[in-house]
Structure 1
Amino acid sequence: MKTFRSAHVRTFSARVQPGVVNLRGRSLLTLKDFQSDEIKYLLWTSHDLKKRIKHDGESLSLLREKSIAMMFEKRSTRTRLSTETGFALLGGHPCFLTSQDIHLGVNESTKDTARVLSRLTDLILARVKNHSTLEELVKEASIPVINGLSDLYHPIQILADFITLQEHYGSLSGLTVSWIGDGNNILHSFMMTAAKLGVHLKIATPKGYEPNASVLQEAQKLSKQFGTSLFLTSDPLEAAHGSNVLVTDTWVGMGQEEEKNQRHKDFNGYQITMQTARVASPNWTFLHCLPRKPEEVDDEVFYSHQSLVFPEAENRKWTIMGLMVSLLTDYMPQTPMPKF
């Protein structure tokens, strides 16, 4: 008979220790704005909550009597569910607002929306079409704002990706990640984060689909600063050679449906298959933020033992929880810091 450990309830009371990272009151629009030790702290907090709640059966009401406004201009599965269930699991009240409920900049200005929500809630998560909308929210809000996805960055996805890799490999420093696909918002977030964790990055994009030039310039500076490599090519196999991690994403994002036929033509040869994996490191793994289309990665790779896509999807919950706790409280992780 399977036995279950009885949950013991704890309420938050700990204060941050002197000299330790404290992110309370910060916003997260891009991991470009976060230092290496701050990113590691977020991953540590996420790891801590996962262990204490999932594995040890604790009940932690760290966000009791707090609320979050979740604004979605674009549909979502993982971002919505991870945030909504995670905030509730920590004792708080999530408020989900679709484009039918709140029209940013249409029936009410973004400025007014930010000021109203600041008086009604403790935190804003916004999934928006334009990154400039987030910048205006941060400017006008008096509470933290989290980027739930914009056209430029998707930082909360990258936190989940890196904790997944840390769990699998035992550490991050020295790993090589190969991005094979579009130069999009997820790649941009990888580029703003990898070097700070000691991770090398190889990028293969078709000509005309390269990452944003300013993001690339910043990534080159980070690579030089942290002593990692940053390699760009248009050859998927060249990017995959010797890599530990193969990553791709949708070829046709939301709002790009009219470009579908042309994009499929331009991305011909970019599907990740076992042929791609054969040139990678023997300990290769595969990541995809989902939803996935077969043309991006075949079933043999996607459902293989090397695929980490479903642990990666679950970790969206633990990392957004770690982030929300870090921005709203002075919580200090109770478990040892993982090796990064």
Structure 2
Amino acid sequence: MSVRHFLSLMDCTPQELAGLIRRGIELKELRNRSVLYEPLKNRVLGMIFEKASTRTRLSFEAGMIQLGGQAIFLSPRDTQLGRGEPIADTAIVMSRMLDAVMIRTFAHQNVLDFAAHSQVPVINGLTDDLHPCQLLADMQTFHEHRGSIQGKTVAWIGDGNNMCNTYAQAAVQFDFQLRIACPEGFEPKQEFLDQAAGRVTLTRDPYAAVAGAHLVSTDVWASMGQEEELAARIQRFAPYQVSRALLDAAAPDVLFMHCLPAHRGEEISTDLLDDPRSVAWDQAENRLHAQKALLEFLVEHAYRA
């Protein structure tokens, strides 16, 4: 059995990623027409959550059920990982019982180690480094509203976190230019900047970043595990709040995205999600449809081989 994993956007070709976006739109249409489609009947997805989640759990669990399969939720308290069992041992056993595994964890090395010992597809549901499933939803949302993102300009405002790292990879895979505005010391990881050389521009000025941009995106200023830094981060990031005035400096047809949850009054102004340029709710819904396309692709590929 040949196994494909989805640990980063770089695990697929640009053509495969474009196909996943198209398929996500198709599956969304089937869902909206109440068409029963169950290609993963009797397949089981194991979901390991070491980080809390709303959208990731709902979208993977509901998506697997809608595709005819089942999903099993596992917290650290529910597995021997929480008691020190090696990741490799857990991966070997779980992959003999399941058809795919999704992991939402802290260290990116955890998903790499798990995938290295898994006989079934492993999906990165989020790590401290990357959040590739969210980018699938973002790219589907842009495509639905504006068509291809190829050749467009995207602005990332705020922390150079896992979402920012993944946007750098998306700039390569989806062929757009990325401008990142962040305070000094909060840049994305250098390895991802190097990977996207020629497609990413760093600036300290959010207005310079959004000038003419077709998509503006941001995230919370303190990610999970950084709560103790919030007060200091609020002070450093205050000039990087995305507001309606900041969006006014972008392209006339700009879209605004936020992967949620949002802290109104911090990284966004209190009224921004109500702005007609915001597509955050469509973006959240598309986690379901894009990940259904991903599950179908990975599991069916594994069992065709």
Once the two structures are TM-superposed, the CA of residue 50 in structure 1 deviates from its matched residue by 1.1
The answer to whether structure 1 residue 80 and structure 2 residue 51 are counterparts is no
Quick one: which of 106, 116, 129 aligns to 2:93?
A: 116
1:100 match: secondary structure: helix
Quick one: which of 275, 288, 295 aligns to 1:324?
A: 295
What is the letter of the counterpart of residue 247 of structure 1?
S
Aligned partner of 1:266 in structure 2 is 236
Q: CA contact under 8 A between 2:215 and 2:256: conserved in structure 1?
A: yes
2:27 match: secondary structure: helix
Quick one: which of 200, 210, 219 aligns to 1:240?
A: 210
Task: After TM superposition, list the pairs within 5 Å mapping 1:1-340 onto structure 2.
Answer: 25-54=3-32, 56-104=33-81, 106-220=83-197, 223=198, 229-294=199-264, 295-330=266-301
Question: What is the alpha-carbon distance in structure 1 between the residues aligned to residue 50 and residue 173 of structure 2?
Answer: 31
What is the letter of the counterpart of residue 211 of structure 1?
P
Residue deviations 1:36-92 (CA, integer Å, cap 9, x gap): 1111111122112112222x3211111101001000001000000000000001110
What is the letter of the counterpart of residue 28 of structure 2?
K
* Larger CA Rg, structure 1 vs 2: 1
Question: What is the alpha-carbon distance in structure 1 between the residues aligned to residue 88 and residue 64 of structure 2?
Answer: 25
1:311 match: secondary structure: helix
What is the letter of the counterpart of residue 175 of structure 1?
K
Once the two structures are TM-superposed, the CA of residue 25 in structure 1 deviates from its matched residue by 2.8
1:95 match: secondary structure: strand
Count of residue correspondences? 300
Question: What is the alpha-carbon distance in structure 1 between the residues aligned to residue 215 and residue 76 of structure 2?
Answer: 36
Structure 1 gaps of 5+ residues are 1-23, 224-228, 332-340
Residue deviations 1:85-134 (CA, integer Å, cap 9, x gap): 00001110100001111252634211111011111100000001111110
Question: What is the alpha-carbon distance in structure 1 between the residues aligned to residue 125 and residue 301 of structure 2?
Answer: 22
- Structure 2 length-normalised TM: 0.95
What is the letter of the counterpart of residue 251 of structure 2?
S
Once the two structures are TM-superposed, the CA of residue 176 in structure 1 deviates from its matched residue by 1.2
Residue deviations 1:204-237 (CA, integer Å, cap 9, x gap): 11100001011110011xx4xxxxx421101111
Question: What is the alpha-carbon distance in structure 2 between the residues aligned to residue 216 and residue 39 of structure 1?
Answer: 20
2:101 match: secondary structure: strand
1:60 match: secondary structure: coil
Once the two structures are TM-superposed, the CA of residue 152 in structure 1 deviates from its matched residue by 0.5
What is the letter of the counterpart of residue 33 of structure 1?
D
RMSD across aligned C-alpha pairs, in angstroms?
1.4
Question: What is the alpha-carbon distance in structure 1 between the residues aligned to residue 172 and residue 196 of structure 2?
Answer: 8
Question: What is the alpha-carbon distance in structure 2 between the residues aligned to residue 254 and residue 330 of structure 1?
Answer: 33
2:103 match: secondary structure: strand
Structure 2 gaps of 5+ residues are none
What is the letter of the counterpart of residue 9 of structure 2?
L
- Structure 1 length-normalised TM: 0.85
Residue deviations 1:217-261 (CA, integer Å, cap 9, x gap): 0011xx4xxxxx421101111101111111100101111011111
Question: What is the alpha-carbon distance in structure 2 between the residues aligned to residue 61 and residue 146 of structure 1?
Answer: 20
Question: What is the alpha-carbon distance in structure 2 between the residues aligned to residue 159 and residue 104 of structure 1?
Answer: 29
Question: What is the alpha-carbon distance in structure 1 between the residues aligned to residue 23 and residue 113 of structure 2?
Answer: 28
Moved over 2 A (4+): 103-107
Question: What is the alpha-carbon distance in structure 1 between the residues aligned to residue 61 and residue 3 of structure 2?
Answer: 20
2:83 match: secondary structure: coil
Residue deviations 1:174-215 (CA, integer Å, cap 9, x gap): 221100011111111111112322222111111000010111
1:201 match: secondary structure: strand
